[in-house]
Structure 1
Amino acid sequence: MAAPPPPPPGPRARSQSERRLARDPAPRAPHLPRGLPSLGNSRAEGRGRRPRDAARDGSPRLIGQGGAEGRGGGGAVVRDHRVLPPPAAPPAAAAPPEGPPRGRRSPPGPRRPPPRSAPRPLASRRGAARPPRTARRGLAARRVLPRAGAAGSGAEPRPCAGCPSGTMALGMAALRRGGGAAPRLLAVAVSCQSCRPRASQCPGDGGHGQPKDQQPAAPGRARRGAEPGPAAGSPPLPAEGADTKTYLWARYHEMKKLVYDLLPPGVCNLLNPATIYANNEISLGDIEIYGFDYDYTLAQYSNLLHSMIFNTARDILIEQFKYPEGLGKYDYIPGFAIRGLHYDVQKSLLMKIDAFHYVQLGTAYRGLKPVPDEEVIELYGGTQHIPLYQMSDFYGKGPSLKQFMDIFSLPEMTLLSSVIDYFITHGIEFDQVHLYKDISDAIRDVHVKGVMYKWIEKDLEQYILHGDEIYAVLNRLVNHKKKLFLITNSPFSFVDKGMKHMVGKNWRDLFDMVIVQADKPNFFTDRRKPFRKLDEDGSLQWDKINQLEKGKIYKEGNLFDFLRLTGWRGSKVLYFGDHLYSDLADLMLRHGWRTGAIVPELETEIRIINTEQYMHSLTWQQALTGLLERMQMYQDAESKQVLLEWMKERQEIRSLTKNLFNPQFGSIFRTFHNPTYFSRRLVRFSDIYMASISCLLNYDVNFTFYPRRTPLQHEAPLWMDQLCTGCMKTPFLEEMVHIR
């Protein structure tokens, strides 16, 4: 016998959440952007409804990815990596009315619509009281977030409502895909966790399912009943009864576990050393003319050449400049110096400076020994900053500071440090200016007098690398109807032998014109030197140059005559070189050419970045930095001691990361966190940069390079490394609310 149909439902009683919203609607907080949920709207869904991320079979579920905890779910709870038993059943109460309890779905079975004769009241269909507009916006904002699966299901975690985007889900997904943004997104995921207090409470929220008036007060701070809840910059609150020291170390260990749990084995090897990196958008399809430097652009040399330059210049100092013979015991130290360092002539300091003209502490050397940080600060008047007027001029040369920008300067820096070390060790007084000038002259003689050229010409196979790839690059460009030219400071005989070794005896047929001994950077700025033609043997001709002919060799000259005779102007020309000042700066700033920088060190640095040690160190360093930024509001004595220990560990990690690249000076691209002065110039003077010219073989001749969007600090929600911690830049936002 069929059961009688249920009676028509009467008016539904309003829930506790709806009664509270109707009685005390939560206005939008004045410090939040329009359209975002206010501090009170995160609880607008009510406590009696089942959260969407709860497991329906009583299995453990994750808390903290948005939504109230709910009181209708009966499963165990996973909180802070601990599985808690299901909540105890509430005490017996009056018998509930027939039908499924509120907040739970009806059991499976055919749904019976109410009879037409008994329509549901309007209040029952629409709700006894609609939430305010701001609360509805908060509900809508939370409904669009992705749903998290049950624990162990493999579903991506659901982002918390207090963070700008689903960073945890994005980081996990990017790591699984193995994309280039995975390390950065991983750091975001870690930082996102650091902005959540225990029980996954989001900043500015009263806790999932827990109203603000039930939250424990921060230590040392009395809570006033009418005072608004903690703002976005307020520190998270430890569990009731727990001291802050225990809480801080608990957060520390949770973060550390999270870092190592989230790094899968495939997270490394994300960067390809053969990639071309773009500082500015550039389409190769728009390039009609390609220009090249020779040394360290077309011709890459082995490190054996540096030892030869060092030894020869050292012998010149001893034999011609009468320096002590004891210098002969010093040999070249591979890997001692890096490109882009500054040398303070008056203080005999070799050091690395960042893009803001600050000396990176721990990278200042006098001779072969580091200078203590305290002494460096004292030498510069109690600061690490070097005023701009003391810096190098536009080309890296100044009255007191010189920047070493080309690869040939590596043996010069090592020789400079070795001589100073000898004088200091033996107690010999010396004039800093004379010593620097003598060493510079000795190095220059190795180049100008042709000593280096003779070594290379005698054994091209030993000194020149990647010759076959150079032919492939040039031949490919010519086959696509591109015009090629060469401008170098090297002499013709040296260039001719090297190009015949790499490309073949008919190498000049690939170039529309070749200019040797150009005297860059004066070639780009000085109008006085005319072009001179060389014959097949390299001998000078005396006829006046009225045109530049294909396949001919020219000496000296200037860029202004070059532009007049060729008409090659503007962005249709792309020139490659290794020296940011001598090769690229004037072409980029004054003549509008597109420029490409050759940075051979890029290959080695990318291989280090791809190591597991670097990835773990950098990720934990970023996570620890996020903890320091978030927890610095705790100022009691024990908390300060904890923060000091964290800062000490952070400094140790930074030193470890620096030593992975170079024990003395670190990476050529970064100080601990800022770009180096070299990086600043690299970005300013080059449209693209790469490890070698052969990287062009990996791209189509019409390929367009798109740079990554450069983040600005005020774009914190768009900047991955600061996605969550960036909102903590105003820690006294709570007090600002009263002012407003």
Structure 2
Amino acid sequence: MAMLRARLLRLFLSPSNPIVKPSVLAGSSHRRSQRGFGLGEFRRGFSGTLVPELTTDDAASTAGADDEIERIQREFEEAKRNFDNIPEVLKEIPKMNPEGIYVNKNVRLDTIQVYGFDYDYTLAHYSENLKILIYDLAKKHLVNELKYPESCLQFEYDPKFPIRGLYYDKLNGCLLKLDFFGSIELDGCFFGRKKACLIADIVQHFVDAKLDFDASYVYEDVNHAIQHVHKSGLLHRTILSDPRKYLVKNSQVLQFLQKLKEKGKKLFLLTNSPFYFVDGGMRFMLEDYRDGRSWRELFDVVIAQANKPSFYTSEHPFRSYDIERDTLAFTAVSRFLPNEVYYHGCLKSFLQITKWKGPEVIYFGDHLFSDLRGPSKAGWRTAAIIHELENEIQIQNDERYRTKQAQFHIIQELLGKVHATVVSTERGQAYKKLMDDLNMHRRHCRDIMRSLFNSSFGATFLTDTGQESAFAYHIHQYADVYTSKPENFMLYTPDAWLHVPCDIKIMPHHVKVPSTLFKPH
């Protein structure tokens, strides 16, 4: 690292013009969003058109400020000349593994005796066709049952618009992307959006038609439609009618479960989905690998329609489910029998029956609130399954992204030096020109980095300024570890110790080019 630091310093800092004053970053996004600045106002905040008239007493200090500005300008020109050399330097920074396990809290796998799994998006891998299906079914429900205009049936799902972890402002009808501190990201706010996700399409329709509407009603109706699609069984029946279109077969999931069983681990399935849907999906995904044996033999306990997240706080009793008759038994459940299926229940009864202690249990799920928040509070270890992780890490490893990220940090550093050097009374033409140039290059870097992920909202885990997003915050809060799919755990031995990285970062899968690499010693 010392050698890398030295090379970076030689590349970007002019030895004859060191700036030794302390630097501060130019305006945090947290402060900007609270004041409601748009992008245009953001630029004017650095390069306003009104320049105070200088007095004779200010002349000396202005000359000194101009000297400092000239030094920073030369440093910037030197950095731009060396931008093409950045990729060679960054090759020495290791790339992250898209299929790795990333650790927020230390986990000793040798102490984990029980592995629990959600079904949807955890054990079951779905194709992109599922999102289109949910969109179309919910759209039809809005028109047929809630009497939305028939023109809404023309809407089409656009997979390039939404990302995971967005927020909806029910008061104003805006889709928002928030940063780690809950502030709205610049350019991360959309009021309607043609060919977008359903809620944005509906808002766009009312806007285009110049109709008055309450944004909270739109939210409630769309949410109701999506809930109906799931709870009515319409979605489940459609998936099972053509499983090859929606489900992805994956032998590695089976290998992972079998490996755990061979090591003497206990396994349980805890899902909100009905048993017939889980059974149909598991049989389809594993039928080529089980030689006719039931997938239920892999699990010590199978619980369907668990009603998470209330499962973790309620006192609902377990009911034994009769697979043949599709009925629930009336007898009390005092123990879990092999090859049986149970409905409903609660965490309190689950722990009383199994005698499994919290710290020896790890639960895998994709939904941070309904799957992982309850277990984390109950003392279970938690593993978040984030399918978007692989693609985001692959982009972060890409030379184009790393190059623009390095350039972005260099410009941020120079902006900090300008603000640490020049006070408001010393802002002349040289200052304005430099600030315009720096801000232009920073916007260029930010736009390119955003476009590599998602042209509308950028990265799922990061804001355009390199801060972690609100979605990243919730992963950090509720997931002890996170990865793209459960079978990634096969890359580690069952007795491995998973440690938080020694170089402290909020999200351990991020590799950043810190501005400190470009500071003189």
TM-score, reference length from structure 2: 0.83
> Structure with the greater relative contact order (CA < 8 A, sep ≥ 6): 1 or 2?
2
CA distance 1:451–1:298, change in 2 (3 Å): same
| Structure with bigger gyration radius | 1
Q: What is the alpha-carbon distance in structure 2 between the residues aligned to residue 267 and residue 330 of structure 1?
A: 47
Mapped pair 1:453 → 2:287: no
Mapped pair 1:660 → 2:452: yes
Q: Is the 8 A contact 2:383 2:481 kept in 1?
A: yes
Worse overlay, 252-261 or 565-574: 252-261
Match of 1:628 in 2: 415
Match of 2:186 in 1: 361
Offset at residue 285 of structure 1 (A): 1.1
Match of 2:4 in 1: 170
CA distance 1:720–1:308, change in 2 (3 Å): closer
1:694 is aligned, of 473, 480, 487, to: 487
3-state SS of 2:186 partner = coil
Offset at residue 200 of structure 1 (A): 6.5
Q: What is the alpha-carbon distance in structure 2 between the residues aligned to residue 298 and residue 469 of structure 1?
A: 10
Offset at residue 666 of structure 1 (A): 1.0
Q: What is the alpha-carbon distance in structure 1 between the residues aligned to residue 358 and residue 500 of structure 2?
A: 20
Mapped pair 1:566 → 2:354: yes
Deviations 1:453-473 (A, max 9, x none): 112212222211242111111
Mapped pair 1:637 → 2:428: yes
Q: In the alignment, residue 257 of structure 1 is paired with which amino acid?
A: R
1:250 is aligned, of 74, 95, 110, to: 74
Match of 1:495 in 2: 278
Offset at residue 268 of structure 1 (A): 8.5
CA distance 1:276–1:711, change in 2 (3 Å): closer
Coordinate RMSD, CA, aligned: 2.8
Where do residues 177-256 of structure 1 align in structure 2 (5 Å cutoff)?
A: 189=8, 198-199=15-16, 201=18, 203=20, 220=60, 246-256=70-80
Q: Is the 8 A contact 2:364 2:385 kept in 1?
A: yes
Offset at residue 724 of structure 1 (A): 6.1
Q: What is the alpha-carbon distance in structure 2 between the residues aligned to residue 727 and residue 268 of structure 1?
A: 20
Where do residues 642-653 of structure 1 align in structure 2 (5 Å cutoff)?
A: 642-653=434-445
Q: Is the 8 A contact 2:410 2:515 kept in 1?
A: no
Match of 2:34 in 1: none
Offset at residue 305 of structure 1 (A): 0.9
Mapped pair 1:335 → 2:160: yes
1:601 is aligned, of 382, 388, 405, to: 388
Q: What is the alpha-carbon distance in structure 1 between the residues aligned to residue 498 and residue 284 of structure 2?
A: 32
Q: Is the 8 A contact 1:598 1:689 kept in 2?
A: yes
Q: In the alignment, residue 601 of structure 1 is paired with which amino acid?
A: E
Q: Is the 8 A contact 1:467 1:501 kept in 2?
A: no
Mapped pair 1:583 → 2:400: no
Match of 2:263 in 1: 480
Mapped pair 1:345 → 2:152: no
3-state SS of 1:496 partner = helix
Q: Is the 8 A contact 2:14 2:78 kept in 1?
A: no
Offset at residue 201 of structure 1 (A): 4.8
Offset at residue 695 of structure 1 (A): 0.8
Where do residues 24-35 of structure 1 align in structure 2 (5 Å cutoff)?
A: none
Q: Is the 8 A contact 2:409 2:515 kept in 1?
A: no
Q: In the alignment, residue 320 of structure 2 is paired with which amino acid?
A: K
Structure 2 unaligned segments of length 5 or more: list them: 22-58, 507-511
Match of 2:117 in 1: 292
Count of matched residue pairs: 466
CA distance 1:592–1:333, change in 2 (3 Å): same
Where do residues 149-164 of structure 1 align in structure 2 (5 Å cutoff)?
A: none
1:519 is aligned, of 283, 291, 307, to: 307
Offset at residue 170 of structure 1 (A): 3.2
Offset at residue 510 of structure 1 (A): 0.9
Q: Is the 8 A contact 1:669 1:675 kept in 2?
A: yes
Q: Is the 8 A contact 1:269 1:611 kept in 2?
A: no
Match of 2:56 in 1: none
Q: Is the 8 A contact 1:460 1:501 kept in 2?
A: yes
CA distance 1:727–1:556, change in 2 (3 Å): farther
Match of 2:201 in 1: 418
Q: Which structure shows the higher helix fraction?
A: 2
Q: Is the 8 A contact 1:268 1:610 kept in 2?
A: no
Q: Is the 8 A contact 1:483 1:511 kept in 2?
A: yes
CA distance 1:197–1:659, change in 2 (3 Å): same
Q: What is the alpha-carbon distance in structure 1 between the residues aligned to residue 242 and residue 479 of structure 2?
A: 33
Mapped pair 1:685 → 2:499: no
Q: What is the alpha-carbon distance in structure 2 between the residues aligned to residue 368 and residue 467 of structure 1?
A: 36
Mapped pair 1:311 → 2:103: no
| Identity between Structure 1 and Structure 2 (%) | 31
Q: What is the alpha-carbon distance in structure 1 between the residues aligned to residue 427 and residue 205 of structure 2?
A: 51
Deviations 1:83-123 (A, max 9, x none): xxxxxxxxxxxxxxxxxxxxxxxxxxxxxxxxxxxxxxxxx
CA distance 1:453–1:479, change in 2 (3 Å): same
Mapped pair 1:261 → 2:121: no
Offset at residue 599 of structure 1 (A): 0.2
Q: Is the 8 A contact 1:470 1:694 kept in 2?
A: yes
Offset at residue 222 of structure 1 (A): 11
TM-score, reference length from structure 1: 0.59
Q: Is the 8 A contact 1:596 1:686 kept in 2?
A: yes
Q: What is the alpha-carbon distance in structure 1 between the residues aligned to residue 173 and residue 92 of structure 2?
A: 43
Q: Is the 8 A contact 1:284 1:701 kept in 2?
A: yes
CA distance 1:568–1:349, change in 2 (3 Å): same
